[in-house]
Amino acid sequence: MDSLIINGGVKLKGEVKVSGAKNACLPMFAAALLTSQKCILRNVPNLSDVRFMAEIVGALGAKVENVAEGVWEITAKKISHVAPYELVRKMRASICVLGPLTGRLKKAEVSLPGGCVIGARPVDLHIKGLKALGCDVKIDAGYIKVDAHKMRGGQLYLGGRFGSTVTGTANVLMAAVLAPGLTMIENAACEPEIEDLCNMLVSMGAKIGGIGSPMLSIEGVKALHGTEHTVIPDRIEAGTWIIAALATRGKITVKGALKRHLGSLLDLLERANCKIEYKGNDTVCVDASRLKLRPMEAVTLPYPGFPTDLQAQLCALMTMADGISIVTERIYPERFMHVPELSRMGAEISREGPSAIIVGNTKLSGAPVMASDLRASAALVIAALAAKGRTKIQRIYHLDRGYDSMDKKLRRLGADVLRVRDE
Ligand code: EPU
Protein backbone atom coordinates (compact mmCIF):
# COMPACT_ATOMS: atom_id res chain seq x y z
CA MET A 1 0.00 0.00 0.00
CA ASP A 2 1.31 3.46 -0.89
CA SER A 3 1.50 6.54 1.32
CA LEU A 4 2.17 10.16 0.46
CA ILE A 5 4.72 12.15 2.38
CA ILE A 6 4.11 15.87 2.11
CA ASN A 7 6.34 18.58 3.52
CA GLY A 8 3.96 21.48 3.81
CA GLY A 9 4.38 25.21 3.51
CA VAL A 10 5.13 25.46 -0.22
CA LYS A 11 2.90 27.81 -2.21
CA LEU A 12 1.60 26.05 -5.32
CA LYS A 13 2.73 27.79 -8.47
CA GLY A 14 2.31 27.14 -12.17
CA GLU A 15 -0.18 25.46 -14.44
CA VAL A 16 -2.14 22.25 -14.00
CA LYS A 17 -4.35 20.40 -16.49
CA VAL A 18 -7.51 18.71 -15.32
CA SER A 19 -8.07 15.11 -16.45
CA GLY A 20 -11.31 13.60 -17.76
CA ALA A 21 -14.23 13.29 -15.36
CA LYS A 22 -14.33 10.04 -13.39
CA ASN A 23 -18.05 10.19 -12.76
CA ALA A 24 -18.79 10.89 -16.40
CA CYS A 25 -16.72 8.08 -17.84
CA LEU A 26 -17.73 5.30 -15.42
CA PRO A 27 -21.36 5.13 -16.66
CA MET A 28 -20.04 5.55 -20.22
CA PHE A 29 -18.19 2.24 -20.00
CA ALA A 30 -21.54 0.75 -19.02
CA ALA A 31 -23.29 2.63 -21.86
CA ALA A 32 -21.03 0.83 -24.33
CA LEU A 33 -22.90 -2.37 -23.34
CA LEU A 34 -25.99 -0.97 -25.08
CA THR A 35 -24.61 -1.75 -28.55
CA SER A 36 -22.74 -4.59 -30.22
CA GLN A 37 -20.68 -2.02 -32.14
CA LYS A 38 -17.41 -0.45 -31.05
CA CYS A 39 -17.48 2.58 -28.71
CA ILE A 40 -14.36 4.70 -28.39
CA LEU A 41 -13.91 6.87 -25.32
CA ARG A 42 -11.32 9.64 -25.26
CA ASN A 43 -9.95 11.76 -22.43
CA VAL A 44 -10.48 8.89 -19.99
CA PRO A 45 -8.52 9.49 -16.77
CA ASN A 46 -5.95 6.97 -15.58
CA LEU A 47 -7.66 5.81 -12.36
CA SER A 48 -8.12 2.57 -10.50
CA ASP A 49 -11.91 3.10 -10.63
CA VAL A 50 -11.71 3.22 -14.42
CA ARG A 51 -9.72 -0.02 -14.45
CA PHE A 52 -12.34 -1.64 -12.18
CA MET A 53 -15.10 -0.53 -14.51
CA ALA A 54 -13.18 -1.87 -17.50
CA GLU A 55 -12.80 -5.17 -15.64
CA ILE A 56 -16.53 -5.37 -14.90
CA VAL A 57 -17.59 -4.56 -18.45
CA GLY A 58 -14.97 -7.07 -19.68
CA ALA A 59 -16.26 -9.75 -17.30
CA LEU A 60 -19.74 -9.25 -18.78
CA GLY A 61 -18.29 -10.27 -22.14
CA ALA A 62 -17.19 -7.01 -23.80
CA LYS A 63 -13.78 -6.60 -25.40
CA VAL A 64 -12.21 -3.69 -23.55
CA GLU A 65 -8.88 -2.21 -24.57
CA ASN A 66 -6.85 0.78 -23.43
CA VAL A 67 -5.44 1.47 -26.90
CA ALA A 68 -3.57 4.71 -26.13
CA GLU A 69 -3.21 7.17 -23.29
CA GLY A 70 -6.74 8.18 -22.30
CA VAL A 71 -8.34 6.18 -25.12
CA TRP A 72 -10.44 3.08 -24.50
CA GLU A 73 -12.26 0.90 -27.02
CA ILE A 74 -15.20 -1.21 -25.89
CA THR A 75 -17.00 -3.71 -28.12
CA ALA A 76 -19.83 -5.60 -26.47
CA LYS A 77 -20.83 -8.16 -29.11
CA LYS A 78 -22.22 -10.82 -26.81
CA ILE A 79 -22.76 -10.08 -23.14
CA SER A 80 -24.02 -11.82 -20.05
CA HIS A 81 -26.84 -10.41 -17.93
CA VAL A 82 -25.25 -11.32 -14.57
CA ALA A 83 -22.92 -8.95 -12.68
CA PRO A 84 -21.74 -10.96 -9.67
CA TYR A 85 -20.99 -9.71 -6.17
CA GLU A 86 -17.21 -10.35 -6.50
CA LEU A 87 -17.08 -7.67 -9.19
CA VAL A 88 -19.75 -5.23 -8.04
CA ARG A 89 -18.52 -5.02 -4.43
CA LYS A 90 -15.24 -3.45 -5.59
CA MET A 91 -16.89 -0.24 -6.67
CA ARG A 92 -20.36 1.20 -6.19
CA ALA A 93 -20.44 2.77 -9.65
CA SER A 94 -20.61 -0.72 -11.14
CA ILE A 95 -24.35 -0.49 -10.39
CA CYS A 96 -24.40 1.51 -13.66
CA VAL A 97 -24.45 -1.74 -15.66
CA LEU A 98 -28.02 -2.34 -14.41
CA GLY A 99 -29.66 0.06 -16.90
CA PRO A 100 -27.73 -1.05 -20.00
CA LEU A 101 -28.23 -4.79 -19.31
CA THR A 102 -31.94 -4.14 -18.78
CA GLY A 103 -32.17 -2.07 -21.96
CA ARG A 104 -30.24 -4.38 -24.24
CA LEU A 105 -30.91 -7.88 -22.89
CA LYS A 106 -34.31 -7.23 -21.30
CA LYS A 107 -33.03 -9.02 -18.22
CA ALA A 108 -30.39 -8.29 -15.60
CA GLU A 109 -29.04 -9.72 -12.38
CA VAL A 110 -26.78 -7.25 -10.65
CA SER A 111 -25.47 -7.70 -7.15
CA LEU A 112 -26.38 -5.02 -4.62
CA PRO A 113 -23.22 -3.01 -4.04
CA GLY A 114 -23.10 -3.25 -0.23
CA GLY A 115 -21.97 -0.76 2.40
CA CYS A 116 -20.13 2.47 1.82
CA VAL A 117 -17.96 4.53 4.12
CA ILE A 118 -19.59 7.84 3.15
CA GLY A 119 -22.98 6.72 4.49
CA ALA A 120 -26.11 4.83 3.44
CA ARG A 121 -26.29 4.58 -0.33
CA PRO A 122 -29.59 2.91 -1.19
CA VAL A 123 -30.68 2.02 -4.73
CA ASP A 124 -34.44 2.21 -4.17
CA LEU A 125 -34.80 5.01 -6.72
CA HIS A 126 -33.00 2.99 -9.42
CA ILE A 127 -35.51 0.20 -8.79
CA LYS A 128 -38.49 2.55 -8.67
CA GLY A 129 -37.42 3.99 -12.03
CA LEU A 130 -37.13 0.60 -13.72
CA LYS A 131 -40.49 -0.46 -12.30
CA ALA A 132 -42.05 2.68 -13.78
CA LEU A 133 -40.84 1.43 -17.17
CA GLY A 134 -42.85 -1.75 -16.69
CA CYS A 135 -39.96 -3.95 -15.52
CA ASP A 136 -40.51 -6.65 -12.97
CA VAL A 137 -37.81 -6.06 -10.33
CA LYS A 138 -37.08 -8.16 -7.25
CA ILE A 139 -34.33 -8.33 -4.69
CA ASP A 140 -33.26 -11.92 -4.26
CA ALA A 141 -30.19 -13.33 -2.51
CA GLY A 142 -28.39 -9.99 -2.56
CA TYR A 143 -29.13 -9.40 -6.25
CA ILE A 144 -31.37 -6.98 -8.11
CA LYS A 145 -33.16 -9.21 -10.60
CA VAL A 146 -34.90 -7.51 -13.50
CA ASP A 147 -37.25 -9.01 -16.04
CA ALA A 148 -37.77 -6.33 -18.67
CA HIS A 149 -39.60 -8.26 -21.34
CA LYS A 150 -42.64 -6.02 -20.91
CA MET A 151 -40.58 -2.83 -20.66
CA ARG A 152 -42.01 0.29 -22.32
CA GLY A 153 -41.73 4.02 -21.86
CA GLY A 154 -43.23 5.55 -18.72
CA GLN A 155 -43.52 8.73 -16.73
CA LEU A 156 -41.72 8.89 -13.40
CA TYR A 157 -40.49 11.16 -10.64
CA LEU A 158 -36.92 10.21 -9.69
CA GLY A 159 -36.36 12.19 -6.50
CA GLY A 160 -35.93 11.05 -2.92
CA ARG A 161 -35.32 12.56 0.50
CA PHE A 162 -31.94 13.87 -0.61
CA GLY A 163 -32.99 15.10 -4.02
CA SER A 164 -32.14 13.58 -7.39
CA THR A 165 -29.88 10.57 -7.96
CA VAL A 166 -26.92 10.66 -10.33
CA THR A 167 -26.32 6.97 -11.05
CA GLY A 168 -30.06 6.28 -10.65
CA THR A 169 -30.76 8.76 -13.46
CA ALA A 170 -28.00 7.13 -15.54
CA ASN A 171 -29.55 3.69 -15.05
CA VAL A 172 -33.13 4.62 -15.86
CA LEU A 173 -31.96 6.65 -18.84
CA MET A 174 -29.85 3.78 -20.20
CA ALA A 175 -32.78 1.36 -19.93
CA ALA A 176 -35.27 3.87 -21.37
CA VAL A 177 -33.28 4.60 -24.54
CA LEU A 178 -34.18 1.08 -25.72
CA ALA A 179 -37.70 0.93 -24.24
CA PRO A 180 -40.50 1.33 -26.80
CA GLY A 181 -42.46 4.57 -26.39
CA LEU A 182 -41.90 7.81 -24.55
CA THR A 183 -40.26 8.09 -21.11
CA MET A 184 -40.37 11.24 -19.05
CA ILE A 185 -37.98 11.44 -16.08
CA GLU A 186 -38.94 14.22 -13.68
CA ASN A 187 -36.30 15.42 -11.18
CA ALA A 188 -33.55 13.79 -13.20
CA ALA A 189 -30.04 14.60 -11.98
CA CYS A 190 -28.68 17.62 -13.89
CA GLU A 191 -25.02 16.99 -13.06
CA PRO A 192 -22.69 17.71 -16.01
CA GLU A 193 -21.71 14.03 -15.91
CA ILE A 194 -25.32 13.08 -16.75
CA GLU A 195 -25.41 15.70 -19.48
CA ASP A 196 -22.24 14.19 -20.93
CA LEU A 197 -23.70 10.69 -20.75
CA CYS A 198 -26.83 11.95 -22.57
CA ASN A 199 -24.62 13.44 -25.28
CA MET A 200 -22.80 10.13 -25.71
CA LEU A 201 -26.13 8.24 -25.91
CA VAL A 202 -27.44 10.70 -28.52
CA SER A 203 -24.27 10.11 -30.55
CA MET A 204 -25.16 6.39 -30.38
CA GLY A 205 -28.58 7.09 -31.89
CA ALA A 206 -30.67 7.66 -28.73
CA LYS A 207 -33.44 10.26 -28.79
CA ILE A 208 -33.22 12.38 -25.64
CA GLY A 209 -34.74 15.79 -24.99
CA GLY A 210 -34.19 18.21 -22.10
CA ILE A 211 -30.50 17.31 -21.77
CA GLY A 212 -28.96 19.12 -18.80
CA SER A 213 -32.37 19.83 -17.26
CA PRO A 214 -34.32 18.03 -14.51
CA MET A 215 -36.92 16.87 -17.04
CA LEU A 216 -35.60 14.33 -19.52
CA SER A 217 -37.75 12.97 -22.31
CA ILE A 218 -36.63 9.83 -24.04
CA GLU A 219 -38.15 8.32 -27.14
CA GLY A 220 -37.09 4.69 -27.22
CA VAL A 221 -35.31 3.39 -30.32
CA LYS A 222 -34.87 -0.22 -31.50
CA ALA A 223 -31.08 -0.31 -31.39
CA LEU A 224 -28.06 1.91 -30.77
CA HIS A 225 -24.83 2.03 -32.74
CA GLY A 226 -21.17 2.58 -31.93
CA THR A 227 -19.68 5.98 -31.28
CA GLU A 228 -16.62 8.00 -30.43
CA HIS A 229 -16.94 10.34 -27.46
CA THR A 230 -14.62 12.67 -25.56
CA VAL A 231 -15.21 12.80 -21.80
CA ILE A 232 -15.66 16.26 -20.19
CA PRO A 233 -12.99 17.53 -17.77
CA ASP A 234 -13.44 16.62 -14.11
CA ARG A 235 -15.08 19.56 -12.29
CA ILE A 236 -14.28 18.04 -8.89
CA GLU A 237 -10.60 17.74 -9.75
CA ALA A 238 -10.67 21.34 -11.02
CA GLY A 239 -12.30 22.49 -7.77
CA THR A 240 -9.76 20.55 -5.73
CA TRP A 241 -6.89 22.39 -7.48
CA ILE A 242 -8.54 25.77 -6.95
CA ILE A 243 -8.99 25.04 -3.23
CA ALA A 244 -5.42 23.71 -2.93
CA ALA A 245 -4.05 26.92 -4.47
CA LEU A 246 -6.02 29.04 -2.03
CA ALA A 247 -4.99 26.92 0.95
CA THR A 248 -1.29 27.30 0.13
CA ARG A 249 -1.64 31.00 -0.79
CA GLY A 250 -0.38 29.99 -4.21
CA LYS A 251 -0.84 31.26 -7.73
CA ILE A 252 -1.94 28.72 -10.31
CA THR A 253 -3.69 28.37 -13.62
CA VAL A 254 -6.13 25.49 -13.90
CA LYS A 255 -6.72 24.38 -17.48
CA GLY A 256 -9.87 22.38 -18.11
CA ALA A 257 -11.81 24.12 -15.35
CA LEU A 258 -15.12 24.75 -17.09
CA LYS A 259 -16.58 27.89 -15.57
CA ARG A 260 -20.15 26.76 -16.25
CA HIS A 261 -19.59 23.58 -14.21
CA LEU A 262 -18.06 25.35 -11.21
CA GLY A 263 -20.53 28.16 -10.56
CA SER A 264 -21.42 27.26 -6.95
CA LEU A 265 -17.77 26.92 -5.87
CA LEU A 266 -16.58 30.06 -7.66
CA ASP A 267 -19.45 32.11 -6.23
CA LEU A 268 -18.73 30.89 -2.71
CA LEU A 269 -15.02 31.63 -3.02
CA GLU A 270 -15.55 35.05 -4.53
CA ARG A 271 -17.83 35.94 -1.61
CA ALA A 272 -15.02 34.77 0.69
CA ASN A 273 -12.71 37.37 -0.87
CA CYS A 274 -10.79 35.10 -3.28
CA LYS A 275 -9.53 36.63 -6.50
CA ILE A 276 -10.36 34.36 -9.38
CA GLU A 277 -9.92 35.21 -13.03
CA TYR A 278 -11.18 33.41 -16.07
CA LYS A 279 -9.40 32.98 -19.35
CA GLY A 280 -12.02 31.90 -21.84
CA ASN A 281 -14.47 29.27 -20.70
CA ASP A 282 -12.11 26.58 -19.58
CA THR A 283 -9.24 28.19 -17.69
CA VAL A 284 -9.29 29.58 -14.17
CA CYS A 285 -6.44 31.61 -12.65
CA VAL A 286 -6.18 31.80 -8.88
CA ASP A 287 -3.87 34.24 -7.16
CA ALA A 288 -4.01 33.82 -3.40
CA SER A 289 -0.71 35.52 -2.57
CA ARG A 290 -2.48 38.36 -0.74
CA LEU A 291 -5.58 36.49 0.28
CA LYS A 292 -7.41 37.36 3.46
CA LEU A 293 -9.96 34.59 3.45
CA ARG A 294 -13.35 35.40 4.92
CA PRO A 295 -15.34 32.67 6.68
CA MET A 296 -17.85 30.79 4.60
CA GLU A 297 -21.18 29.06 4.91
CA ALA A 298 -21.73 26.23 2.45
CA VAL A 299 -24.51 23.71 1.96
CA THR A 300 -24.07 20.71 -0.32
CA LEU A 301 -26.90 20.16 -2.77
CA PRO A 302 -27.52 18.40 -6.07
CA TYR A 303 -26.10 20.26 -9.09
CA PRO A 304 -26.03 23.21 -9.68
CA GLY A 305 -25.69 23.50 -5.89
CA PHE A 306 -22.39 23.07 -4.07
CA PRO A 307 -21.11 19.50 -4.68
CA THR A 308 -20.74 17.04 -1.83
CA ASP A 309 -17.60 15.82 -3.60
CA LEU A 310 -15.89 19.13 -2.72
CA GLN A 311 -17.15 19.37 0.86
CA ALA A 312 -14.14 17.71 2.52
CA GLN A 313 -11.66 19.84 0.57
CA LEU A 314 -13.60 22.98 1.50
CA CYS A 315 -13.47 21.98 5.19
CA ALA A 316 -9.66 21.92 4.98
CA LEU A 317 -9.68 25.44 3.48
CA MET A 318 -12.15 26.72 6.08
CA THR A 319 -9.61 26.06 8.85
CA MET A 320 -7.64 28.95 7.31
CA ALA A 321 -10.48 31.50 7.11
CA ASP A 322 -10.62 34.54 9.31
CA GLY A 323 -13.49 33.39 11.55
CA ILE A 324 -15.93 30.54 11.99
CA SER A 325 -17.23 28.70 8.91
CA ILE A 326 -20.10 26.24 8.66
CA VAL A 327 -20.58 23.49 6.15
CA THR A 328 -23.81 21.50 5.98
CA GLU A 329 -23.99 18.17 4.17
CA ARG A 330 -27.43 17.66 2.59
CA ILE A 331 -26.49 14.72 0.35
CA TYR A 332 -24.58 12.40 2.70
CA PRO A 333 -25.18 13.70 6.26
CA GLU A 334 -22.48 11.37 7.64
CA ARG A 335 -19.76 12.25 5.12
CA PHE A 336 -17.34 13.72 7.66
CA MET A 337 -14.62 11.05 7.98
CA HIS A 338 -12.04 13.74 7.23
CA VAL A 339 -12.94 15.64 10.41
CA PRO A 340 -11.09 13.46 12.97
CA GLU A 341 -8.03 13.26 10.71
CA LEU A 342 -7.99 17.04 10.13
CA SER A 343 -8.31 17.43 13.89
CA ARG A 344 -5.13 15.36 14.27
CA MET A 345 -3.42 18.10 12.26
CA GLY A 346 -4.68 20.79 14.62
CA ALA A 347 -8.04 21.70 13.04
CA GLU A 348 -10.80 22.74 15.42
CA ILE A 349 -13.99 21.29 14.03
CA SER A 350 -17.16 20.32 15.87
CA ARG A 351 -20.10 18.44 14.48
CA GLU A 352 -23.69 19.48 14.91
CA GLY A 353 -25.94 16.98 13.08
CA PRO A 354 -25.23 17.26 9.33
CA SER A 355 -23.11 20.39 9.88
CA ALA A 356 -19.46 20.94 10.71
CA ILE A 357 -18.48 24.13 12.51
CA ILE A 358 -14.93 25.05 11.67
CA VAL A 359 -12.80 27.50 13.61
CA GLY A 360 -10.56 29.56 11.34
CA ASN A 361 -7.04 30.93 11.60
CA THR A 362 -5.78 27.50 12.65
CA LYS A 363 -2.10 26.75 12.27
CA LEU A 364 -2.16 23.21 10.92
CA SER A 365 0.81 21.00 11.63
CA GLY A 366 1.96 17.87 9.83
CA ALA A 367 0.98 14.53 11.36
CA PRO A 368 0.54 10.90 10.35
CA VAL A 369 -3.03 10.58 9.04
CA MET A 370 -5.16 7.98 7.34
CA ALA A 371 -7.15 8.37 4.11
CA SER A 372 -10.64 6.89 4.46
CA ASP A 373 -12.29 7.68 1.14
CA LEU A 374 -11.55 9.53 -2.04
CA ARG A 375 -12.55 13.09 -1.18
CA ALA A 376 -11.44 12.83 2.46
CA SER A 377 -8.00 11.94 1.04
CA ALA A 378 -8.02 15.07 -1.11
CA ALA A 379 -8.87 17.14 1.98
CA LEU A 380 -5.90 15.65 3.82
CA VAL A 381 -3.61 16.44 0.89
CA ILE A 382 -4.79 20.07 0.93
CA ALA A 383 -4.32 20.32 4.69
CA ALA A 384 -0.87 18.74 4.44
CA LEU A 385 0.21 21.15 1.70
CA ALA A 386 -0.73 24.10 3.91
CA ALA A 387 0.52 22.64 7.20
CA LYS A 388 3.84 23.27 8.87
CA GLY A 389 6.02 20.19 8.80
CA ARG A 390 5.69 16.67 7.47
CA THR A 391 2.47 14.74 6.96
CA LYS A 392 2.31 11.09 6.06
CA ILE A 393 -1.03 10.16 4.48
CA GLN A 394 -1.56 6.43 4.54
CA ARG A 395 -3.87 4.34 2.32
CA ILE A 396 -3.74 6.69 -0.61
CA TYR A 397 -5.20 4.03 -2.88
CA HIS A 398 -8.38 5.98 -2.13
CA LEU A 399 -6.84 9.00 -3.85
CA ASP A 400 -5.75 6.91 -6.84
CA ARG A 401 -9.37 5.84 -7.34
CA GLY A 402 -10.34 9.33 -8.43
CA TYR A 403 -7.38 11.63 -9.07
CA ASP A 404 -5.18 10.96 -12.10
CA SER A 405 -1.49 11.40 -11.15
CA MET A 406 -2.21 13.81 -8.31
CA ASP A 407 1.24 13.48 -6.78
CA LYS A 408 2.96 14.10 -10.12
CA LYS A 409 0.78 17.12 -10.84
CA LEU A 410 1.51 18.46 -7.35
CA ARG A 411 5.25 18.11 -7.87
CA ARG A 412 4.95 20.07 -11.12
CA LEU A 413 3.30 22.85 -9.09
CA GLY A 414 6.31 22.88 -6.79
CA ALA A 415 4.93 20.86 -3.86
CA ASP A 416 7.25 18.66 -1.83
CA VAL A 417 5.44 15.33 -2.25
CA LEU A 418 6.82 11.83 -2.22
CA ARG A 419 5.00 8.55 -2.80
CA VAL A 420 6.36 5.72 -0.70
CA ARG A 421 5.47 2.05 -0.54
CA ASP A 422 4.73 0.84 2.97
CA GLU A 423 6.15 -2.44 4.19
N1 EPU B 1 -30.31 8.00 -2.87
C2 EPU B 1 -31.44 7.37 -2.43
N3 EPU B 1 -31.91 6.32 -3.17
C4 EPU B 1 -31.31 5.91 -4.31
C5 EPU B 1 -30.17 6.58 -4.76
C6 EPU B 1 -29.68 7.63 -4.01
O7 EPU B 1 -32.01 7.71 -1.40
O8 EPU B 1 -31.81 4.96 -4.94
C9 EPU B 1 -29.78 9.13 -2.09
C10 EPU B 1 -28.35 8.90 -1.61
O11 EPU B 1 -28.32 8.17 -0.41
C12 EPU B 1 -27.83 10.32 -1.48
C13 EPU B 1 -28.53 11.03 -2.62
O14 EPU B 1 -29.68 10.24 -2.95
O15 EPU B 1 -28.29 10.86 -0.27
C16 EPU B 1 -27.70 11.24 -3.85
O17 EPU B 1 -27.10 10.02 -4.25
P18 EPU B 1 -26.75 9.68 -5.75
O19 EPU B 1 -27.54 8.50 -6.18
O20 EPU B 1 -26.86 10.91 -6.58
O21 EPU B 1 -25.22 9.25 -5.64
P22 EPU B 1 -24.49 8.23 -6.58
O23 EPU B 1 -25.09 8.28 -7.91
O24 EPU B 1 -24.39 6.92 -5.89
C25 EPU B 1 -22.74 9.93 -7.49
C26 EPU B 1 -21.25 10.03 -7.53
C27 EPU B 1 -20.72 10.32 -6.15
C28 EPU B 1 -21.34 11.63 -5.66
C29 EPU B 1 -22.87 11.53 -5.69
C30 EPU B 1 -23.57 12.82 -5.33
C31 EPU B 1 -20.73 8.54 -9.35
C32 EPU B 1 -20.09 7.28 -9.81
N33 EPU B 1 -20.72 8.78 -8.05
O34 EPU B 1 -23.04 8.85 -6.60
O35 EPU B 1 -19.31 10.49 -6.29
O36 EPU B 1 -20.91 11.91 -4.36
O37 EPU B 1 -23.30 11.16 -7.01
O38 EPU B 1 -23.20 13.83 -6.19
O39 EPU B 1 -21.19 9.31 -10.15
C40 EPU B 1 -17.09 10.59 -5.57
O41 EPU B 1 -16.76 10.80 -6.75
O42 EPU B 1 -16.28 10.74 -4.61
C43 EPU B 1 -18.46 10.17 -5.27
C44 EPU B 1 -18.81 9.58 -4.15
pLDDT at 423 over 80: no
Compute the Cα dihedral for 48, 52, 57, 62 and give only its sign: positive
Q: Given pLDDT bands bounded at 50, 70 and 90, which one contains residue 422?
A: confident
Lowest mean pLDDT among 43-52, 84-93, 242-251, 259-268: 84-93
- Is residue 349 within 8 Å of 342, Cβ to Cβ? yes
| CA dihedral over 383, 384, 388, 392, signed as positive or negative | positive
pLDDT class of 115 with cuts at 50, 70, 90? low
| pTM for the model | 0.98
Point out the ligand 1 atom lying closest to the alpha carbon of residue 121: 11
Nearest CA to ligand 1 atom 33: 23
Spatial separation of the C-alpha atoms in residues 120 and 106, rounded to whole Å: 29
C-alpha distances out from residue 183 to 179, 200, 357, Å:
8, 18, 43
pLDDT at 2 over 90: yes
**Quick one: average pLDDT of 398-405?**
95
As a whole number, the mean pLDDT across the chain is 96
State the distance from the centre of ligand 1 to the C-alpha of 196, rounded, in angstroms. 17
CA distances from 73 to 6, 21, 200 (A): 37, 17, 14
Number of the ligand 1 atom closest to the C-alpha atom of 373? 42
Q: Is the pLDDT of residue 58 over 90?
A: yes
Q: Which residues line ligand 1 (CB under 6 A)?
A: 23, 26, 92-93, 120-126, 160-162, 165-168, 189, 193, 308-309, 331-332, 374-375, 402
Looking at residues 66-86, what average pLDDT do you find?
Answer: 96
What is the whole-number distance in angstroms between the Cα of residue 259 and the centre of ligand 1? 23
382-406 mean pLDDT: 96
Tell me the per-residue pLDDT of 197-229, one tens digit each, with 9 for 90 and over: 999 999 999 999 999 999 999 999 999 999 999
Choice among 24-38, 107-121, 208-222, 369-383 with the minimum mean pLDDT: 107-121
Q: How far is the CA of 415 from the centre of ligand 1 (A)?
A: 32
In terms of Cα–Cα distance, which of 118, 127, 173, 157 is closest to 300?
A: 118
Residue of 94, 121, 173 to mutate, ligand 1, most atoms within 8 A of C-beta: 121
Distance 232 CA to ligand 1 centre (A): 19
Q: Report the pLDDT averaged over residues 175-183.
A: 98
Average the pLDDT over 87-100 and give the result: 93
For ligand 1, what atom is nearest to the CA of residue 120? 11
What per-residue confidence (pLDDT) applies to 119? 76
What pLDDT digit, counting tens, does each position of 133-156 carry?
Answer: 999 999 999 999 999 999 999 999
Determine the atom of ligand 1 nearest the C-alpha atom of 307. Answer: 38
pLDDT at 118: 75
CA distances from 77 to 50, 208, 222, 229, 357 (A): 21, 24, 16, 19, 53
> What pLDDT does 67 receive?
98
Find the mean pLDDT for residues 62-90.
96
Residue nearest to atom 16 of ligand 1 (CA): 165
What b/e sequence results for 288-312 when a residue is b if at least 16 CB atoms lie within 10 Å of its CB, and e otherwise? beebebebbebbbbbbeebbbbbbb
Please identify which of the residues 25, 96, 116, 135 carries the catalytic annotation.
116
Distance 167 CA to ligand 1 centre (A): 7
Which residue minimizes the CA distance to atom 25 of ligand 1?
166
Cα separation, 23 vs 96, whole angstroms: 11
Q: What is residue 101's predicted lDDT score, i.e. its pLDDT?
A: 98
Q: How far apart are CA 372 and CA 399, in angstroms?
A: 9
Q: What is the mean pLDDT of residues 1-5?
A: 94
116 is catalytic: yes
Using the mean position of ligand 1's atoms as its centre, give its distance from the Cα of residue 185 in Å: 17
